[in-house]
Structure 1
Amino acid sequence: MKVVVVGGTGLIGRKLIPLLTANGHEAVAVSKSTGVDVITGEGLADALRGADTVVDLTNAPSWGDDEVLAFFTTSARNLAAAEQAAGVRHHFALTIVNADTIPDSGYMRAKVAQEKVIAASGIPYTIVRATQFYEFIGMIAGAATVDGQVRVTSAAFQPVAGDDVAALLAELIDQPPLNGLIDLGGPEVQPMSTFVKRFLDVIDDTRTVVPDPAAGYFGATIDDSSLTTRDGARIGATTFAEWLSK
């Protein structure tokens, strides 16, 4: 089966492509760097020719509210049109756990809008909603740092390894479309501030972590249910300690 991974040169795509290949699929990574632009449509028709399945792992180049909304809705519509023309039978997208419960985040609103475009496209689909990746904890710490202090929320956090995200996608590729959502989270739930401190300790970073219930998450108000999975979610196998030791 030919699987085209759009955004396949990014974090999850680089992990997914070898898994698909090992499972006997013809896995093709495409991105703007390979001449495929999901916003202008350049290269899309050629990239999707003969594809059975498309996995959308694209991410917006800008996080401004208007820009990110335009990116995800435009890219989803362009992909859907190209997939219809190519006869694609299964569309995958990677979005975010509980995106619909954090409406004051422009990024989350954009991911929900992307999901709505996919659901209305008429193409059979599966949407994997994952929690935040272990690989992003350093970025979270950086964004929360002021004058050497990392002021980060103490709300519950359930990050997952990028390897586990790729593994679930690879597993689902061979299954029928869900025409719905499946959630994925990590095996541990702790305050975000605890995860950040553990990460900084391992890399010998001396910044002080200040747990702050009011800190929010990139400007959005959150609580203990915002960044954690609900009943029925899939749980990744990789613990944070295991990931830190790699």
Structure 2
Amino acid sequence: MKILVIGGTGLTGRLVTKKLANLGHQVVIGSPTHGVDLMTGEGLTQALENTAIVIDLSNSSSPEEENAIHFFQTAGKHLLKAEQAANIRHHLVLSIVGTDNAPQIGYLRAKKYQEDNIKSSGIPYTIIRSTQFYEHTDAIISVQGQGDEVFVSKIDYQPIALEDVTDYIVQFALEEPKNGTVEIAGPTRAHMDDFVAKYIVIAGKPLKVVSDEDSKYMHLVVPRSLLVPAGTYHAGKIYFEDWALHTASH
């Protein structure tokens, strides 16, 4: 089966592309370096020829509000118009848990636009809303750290391993379209400061977590349960401690 992976050169896209190829599928990578530009529409018609499934892992060059909204509006218009002409059987998009629960965050508003665009397109679709990745832990430490201290909120947190995320993307892409939204999350829920403190200990970093009740993530004030599933979800198989041990040893 021919499958177009938009954003196939990114960290998530490379894993998805490899897994699909290992299953015997013909994978086309949709990125400017491979002749596909969502911002101009260039290369889309050729990439979609005889394609059955589109996996949209595209992302804006920065999470800043104006940039993100412009990207998802422009990219979505070009992509869905080309998909409609090509009679695509299934469009899967990777989104974020809590997308419609914090409209004050410009990036989440942009992702909501991306979701709504595919819902109204008439193309069979599946939206996967994922919690944050384990792999973001170092970014939290970097952004929220000062000296040898890391200031981390006690907000609810249920991250998932990138390996599990890509397994679910492949699984749902190859299934019948849900024409709805599914959520995925890691197997364990706790407070964000608990996860960061465990990672620091396992990785042997000379840092100390300072916990607070500010309900902040990357300096943004967010609802306390924004980063966890609201209801039914599909759980990843990899536990945070196992991921941290593996990461620390490599």
Separation in structure 2 between the aligned mates of residue 33 and residue 192 of structure 1, nearest angstrom: 37
Separation in structure 1 between the aligned mates of residue 219 and residue 67 of structure 2, nearest angstrom: 16
1:113-136 residue CA offsets vs partner (Å, 9 max, x unmatched):
111111111111100000000111
The 5 A counterparts of 1:21-40 are: 21-40=21-40
Separation in structure 2 between the aligned mates of residue 196 and residue 72 of structure 1, nearest angstrom: 31
- How far is 1:51 from its partner? 0.8
- How far is 1:85 from its partner? 1.9
Q: Match for 2:42: what amino acid?
A: E
TM-score (norm 2): 0.93
TM-score (norm 1): 0.94
Q: Match for 1:22: what amino acid?
A: N
Structure 1 position 122 matched with structure 2 position 111: no
How many correspondences in the alignment? Answer: 246
Q: Match for 2:196: what amino acid?
A: V
1:105 corresponds to: 105
2:242 corresponds to: 242
The 5 A counterparts of 1:5-24 are: 5-24=5-24
Separation in structure 1 between the aligned mates of residue 33 and residue 240 of structure 2, nearest angstrom: 32
Checking the alignment, whether the CA contact within 8 Å between 1:151 and 1:215 is kept in structure 2 is no
2:205 corresponds to: 205
Runs of 4+ with >6 A deviation: none
Change beyond 3 A, Cα 1:107–1:218: farther
Structure 1 position 2 matched with structure 2 position 5: no
- Please, what is the CA RMSD of the aligned residues? 1.5
**Which stretch of the first structure deviates more once superposed, 216-225 or 36-45?**
216-225
- How far is 1:230 from its partner? 2.6
2:149 corresponds to: 149
- How far is 1:196 from its partner? 1.4
Q: Match for 1:143: what amino acid?
A: V
Identity across the alignment (%): 38
Separation in structure 1 between the aligned mates of residue 219 and residue 45 of structure 2, nearest angstrom: 38
1:64-106 residue CA offsets vs partner (Å, 9 max, x unmatched):
1111111112211211011112221110100001111112211
**Which stretch of the first structure deviates more once superposed, 36-45 or 232-241?**
36-45
1:45 corresponds to: 45
- How far is 1:201 from its partner? 2.4
Structure 1 position 79 matched with structure 2 position 79: yes
1:150-187 residue CA offsets vs partner (Å, 9 max, x unmatched):
11211110000111111111111222111110000000
Checking the alignment, whether the CA contact within 8 Å between 1:104 and 1:221 is kept in structure 2 is no
Secondary structure of the 1:152 match is strand
Separation in structure 1 between the aligned mates of residue 218 and residue 17 of structure 2, nearest angstrom: 30
1:6-49 residue CA offsets vs partner (Å, 9 max, x unmatched):
10111111111222123332122221222221112122222222
Separation in structure 1 between the aligned mates of residue 238 and residue 34 of structure 2, nearest angstrom: 31
1:190-210 residue CA offsets vs partner (Å, 9 max, x unmatched):
111121122222332222221
- How far is 1:219 from its partner? 4.1
Q: Match for 1:65: what amino acid?
A: E
- Which ranges of structure 2 fall in alignment gaps of 5 or more residues? none
Separation in structure 2 between the aligned mates of residue 37 and residue 148 of structure 1, nearest angstrom: 42
**Which stretch of the first structure deviates more once superposed, 18-27 or 66-75?**
18-27
Checking the alignment, whether the CA contact within 8 Å between 2:215 and 2:223 is kept in structure 1 is no
The 5 A counterparts of 1:167-182 are: 167-182=167-182
Change beyond 3 A, Cα 1:83–1:153: same
- Which ranges of structure 1 fall in alignment gaps of 5 or more residues? none
Separation in structure 2 between the aligned mates of residue 136 and residue 118 of structure 1, nearest angstrom: 27
